Amino acid sequence: MAHTKTLTFADQVRAIPEGEHVETCYACGTCVSTCMIQQKGEPQYNPRRLLRMVMMDMREEAFKSPTTWLCSACDLCYEACPQEIHISGVIGAVKQLALGAGYTSPLETVTVDESLCSGCGICVMVCPYDAPTLVEKAVDGQMDSVSEVDANKCMGCGVCVAACPLGAIARPGVSNAEIVAQIPLGRDLTTVEGPKLVTFVCDWCLRADSDVALLESYPENVRVIHIPCTGRIDPEMALRALRSGIDGVLVCGCAPGECHYKRGTYVSSCKIGLLGRMLDQMSAPAGFGSGRVRFVQIGTQERGRIRAEVDSMLAYLESIVMPVREAGS
């Protein structure tokens, strides 16, 4: 009588593209030390442990592990792994099996207001995770093309929220209204000394706690707004700040290739670059406009650089913008 071999958990993971080579992990822990997720507050996050679960047939434990759901495939660990295991690929394979077993993602994801969505497809183009697709649906009694987001693929980065021209997409905690509410109005800060600077900072680019603490230690003229990724920034937010009398806007994000959400930093560098060129065309002398909105990309190894960037921006505003503003007041 023929026997059918029951596939182990590891066999199933290996059978999924990029799930191969899981058995070559020798648990050195390099992946854990390079990953920002554990450092940023999820102590249970541990790719090394998840790979061991795969090899030890601990299916249910792996499906319930936060590691399976929180990995954003930034691939910092892939570059560091001495065994060249595509760890996010293995984690993705485990996630695929977990979804097949009926588990669902616990992450906070975006929602689409179908009555506002025009089906333009920009969210489909910018999403690093292929979460949105355009579907034909009856909206207000009429068939229409609208965006539908797969909650099991969405990582909640908010890149689509910033890109949607109609404001049809929202993510709780970082909706347009919630971010805008944190932007101070320059005209409300007339008694505050020094150039007024709004700093948007991606939560993932500051590895050291001391850098986070430093940002909070600036006086009142520097307002810090935390965002999940610079891809979440809409240039309209920077314009709104400048229009209200804020002197400058600094956007700090991850270095190229290190964005926690894969290409959020690339999307935002394009948008902020375009905004700078637009401001230059509107301003005289040349460079005065774009200098007021600066985009910097901070590498995971560049501890302390945030201070240099904020101080440099303040010095620029002090020397260039303040005299112009004071002459006009």
Residue 229 within binding range of ligand FES, rule CB under 6 A: yes
Q: Which is nearer to ligand FES, 154 or 254 (CB)?
A: 254
Residue 222 within binding range of ligand FES, rule CB under 6 A: no
CA separation (Å) from 114 to 118, 126, 139, 158, 214? Answer: 8, 19, 7, 17, 42
Residue 154 within binding range of ligand FES, rule CB under 6 A: no
Residue 264 within binding range of ligand FES, rule CB under 6 A: yes
Query: Nearest approach, Cβ of 246 to ligand FES (angstroms)?
Result: 22
CB-hemisphere CA count at 13 Å for 145?
Answer: 9
Residue 306 within binding range of ligand FES, rule CB under 6 A: no
Please write down the long-range contacts of 99-107, taking CB distance under 8 Å and 24 or more positions apart. 99/152, 101/59, 101/63, 103/63, 103/64, 104/151, 104/152, 105/69, 105/151, 105/152, 105/154, 106/69, 107/69, 107/70, 107/151, 107/154, 107/155, 107/156
List 63, 129, 200, 204, residue binding ligand FES (CB under 6 A): 204
Q: Which amino acid is at 114?
A: E
- Are the CB atoms for 321 and 292 separated by under 8 Å? yes
> Percentage helix, strand, coil, to 5, in the chain?
45, 15, 45
Residue 147 within binding range of ligand FES, rule CB under 6 A: no
Residue 261 within binding range of ligand FES, rule CB under 6 A: yes
Candidates 119-127, 130-138, 166-174, 260-268: pick the segment binding ligand FES (CB under 6 A): 260-268
- Are the CB atoms for 74 and 105 separated by under 8 Å? no
Which 8-state DSSP code applies to residue 315?
A: H
Residue 230 within binding range of ligand FES, rule CB under 6 A: yes
Residue 156 within binding range of ligand FES, rule CB under 6 A: no
- Are the CB atoms for 197 and 314 separated by under 8 Å? yes
Q: Which is nearer to ligand FES, 167 or 299 (CB)?
A: 299
The footprint of ligand FES on this chain (CB under 6 A) covers a number of residues equal to 13
Residue 260 within binding range of ligand FES, rule CB under 6 A: yes
Candidates 166-174, 182-190, 218-226, 253-261: pick the segment binding ligand FES (CB under 6 A): 253-261
Q: Which of 319, 325, 261, 266 is nearest to 295 (CA)?
A: 266
List 146, 205, 233, 293, residue binding ligand FES (CB under 6 A): 205
Q: Which is nearer to ligand FES, 247 or 309 (CB)?
A: 309
Residue 19 within binding range of ligand FES, rule CB under 6 A: no
What is the binding site for ligand FES (CB under 6 A)? Answer: 202, 204-205, 229-231, 253-254, 259-261, 264-265
